[in-house]
Structure 1
Amino acid sequence: MHIVRSYDDEQRQLVERIVAMGHTAVAQLEAALDVVERRDDGAARRVVANDEAIDEAERQVSQDVMRLALRGPMARDLRAVLAGLRIPAEIERIGDHAANVAKRSIVLHAAPPLPQVAGLRALGMVAAGQVRQALRAYATGDDTLALQVRDNDARLDQQYTALFRELLTWMMEDPRHITPCTHLLFMARNLERVGDHATNIAENVWFLRHGDEPLPPRDKRDGTSAPTALP
């Protein structure tokens, strides 16, 4: 019984470390959005440099997960081990996307400010909120909240598509806008991908509770690859 209790305690501590890692990545994302708006190159470079801390956290968590796996867990615990490897990988990618936004902001600041920066920030805050909810679902084992995160990804897709179309229109109206708008397009794509990683975290929460039971179908509304995406 003592061994089982010890194992359960280590599992809880692992989840807490993964959730803390996730909140660090979200803070990085919010910092990246802030430097875009404030046009602060120094802060942008700090966001890029801080990405290494998230990478190191993922490496440490992976080692901790493998130590738990070697103790011979049951089927339920094996799902926890798999989620303990998958979710930090999703968080690490969120950190990468935050760093990418910060890197492009440095180049973007060489051009005059664009009004679409406000739309980019709005998109990013929705994505950050999705990650926070996914982390809460993981921390509490709330599969209902996980499904809400997964379903809400359609809203983020809609915002991304609207910003995509607005930027294309802006580029077509004035060739001088092409370079800065291209950077904003790539930054927006990074933010849309953050939403996808939040969805993947949520789907791992479902997997923890239900194993291979199929997930309900969901709506996807990223229209950027459709012919109607062009203005």
Structure 2
Amino acid sequence: MSKHLQRDLNQIERSLSQQASVVEQMVQTAYRGLRERCLGTAAEILAQESDLNASEVRIEEECLETLALHQPVAIDLRRTATAIKINSDLERIGDLALNLAERTEALAEHPDVPIPAGLEQMVVRALSMLHDAHRAFVTLDVDLAHSVCRRDDEVDAINREVIQEIIAAMEKRPDQSAGYLHLFSASRIVERIGDHATNISEDVIYLVEGVITRHRWATYKIA
């Protein structure tokens, strides 16, 4: 590997780590809004989103430039491909954090609609998955990446329980259906954050081992 390629890949990965830290903060802000049922969190996240989007475009351009200039192979090609994919997942998580804050603020119009305990549990778990996926990427910790993937099933299970609880509540209080629909949407958003954290962890596994693990029924070894 040339020193110039090494320098460029290291810079891309540093930028990705910074991007991941910003995204974690955005999800934490959305969680604060949910926990405290307060207004203003969507505006906080929106203020960060334009910078996040600009960084996402810049990182992608740097990755494409690296492919064009250095034509990396083997592990260096995996590093570049992984960076492109993780960059996209982080940008999407930022969007979801904003969506969650918007749903939370909409709930302010429905003070009689309680927030299910399971929904808060989901956010805590999704945040933990995101943090550990970030750490797995920085440290190339495959065991930690696998742990994040396994925890996605737990978030999915809680999501199903929350949805069932919301549907039951709507049947009992149809006059509050609008509020419960915001909760339904929020639960789905959190579940998707967990999915994207899982995607990042799967990309770490691919980066280190050259194994694509997206589909549990088929594992492919990349030479």
| TM-score, normalization by structure 1 | 0.86
| Superposed displacement of residue 38, structure 1 | 2.4
| Superposed displacement of residue 161, structure 1 | 1.1
| Superposed displacement of residue 154, structure 1 | 0.7
- 2:195 alignment partner AA: D
**In the alignment, which residue of structure 1 is the partner of 2:148?**
149
Q: Deviations over 1:101-154 (max 9, x none)?
A: 111222211111533254322211110110111111111111221111111111
Q: Deviations over 1:69-118 (max 9, x none)?
A: 12121222111111110001000110011000111222211111533254
- 2:29 alignment partner AA: A
Matched, 1:186 2:182: no
Contact 1:45–1:103 (CA under 8 A) maintained in structure 2: no
CA 38–113 in structure 1, closer or farther in 2 if over 3 Å, else same = farther
Aligned positions of 1:53-132 closer than 5 A: 53-70=51-68, 71-132=70-131
Mapped partners of 2:145, 2:138: distance in 1? 11
Higher mean C-alpha displacement, 182-191 vs 48-57: 48-57
CA 120–113 in structure 1, closer or farther in 2 if over 3 Å, else same = farther
Contact 1:48–1:103 (CA under 8 A) maintained in structure 2: no
Mapped partners of 2:214, 2:116: distance in 1? 35
**In the alignment, which residue of structure 1 is the partner of 2:29?**
31
Q: Deviations over 1:179-209 (max 9, x none)?
A: 1111011011010001110111111111112
Secondary structure of the residue aligned to 1:80 is helix
Mapped partners of 1:104, 1:125: distance in 2? 17
Detail structure 1 runs of 4+ shifted over 4 Å in the superposition. 212-216
CA 93–214 in structure 1, closer or farther in 2 if over 3 Å, else same = closer
Q: Deviations over 1:193-227 (max 9, x none)?
A: 01110111111111112224657948xxxxxxxxx
Secondary structure of the residue aligned to 1:73 is coil
- 2:203 alignment partner AA: N
- 2:76 alignment partner AA: D
**In the alignment, which residue of structure 2 is the partner of 1:224?**
none
Mapped partners of 1:104, 1:204: distance in 2? 30
Higher mean C-alpha displacement, 103-112 vs 42-51: 42-51
Segments of 5+ residues of structure 2 without an aligned counterpart are 218-223
**In the alignment, which residue of structure 2 is the partner of 1:20?**
18
CA 206–160 in structure 1, closer or farther in 2 if over 3 Å, else same = same
Aligned residues with identical type, % of pairs? 27
Mapped partners of 2:42, 2:64: distance in 1? 34
Secondary structure of the residue aligned to 1:40 is coil
Higher mean C-alpha displacement, 112-121 vs 166-175: 112-121
Contact 1:90–1:200 (CA under 8 A) maintained in structure 2: yes
Higher mean C-alpha displacement, 108-117 vs 187-196: 108-117
Mapped partners of 2:29, 2:116: distance in 1? 14
- 1:84 alignment partner AA: A
Secondary structure of the residue aligned to 1:109 is helix
Contact 2:206–2:213 (CA under 8 A) maintained in structure 1: no
**In the alignment, which residue of structure 1 is the partner of 2:221?**
none
| TM-score, normalization by structure 2 | 0.89
Mapped partners of 1:189, 1:143: distance in 2? 27
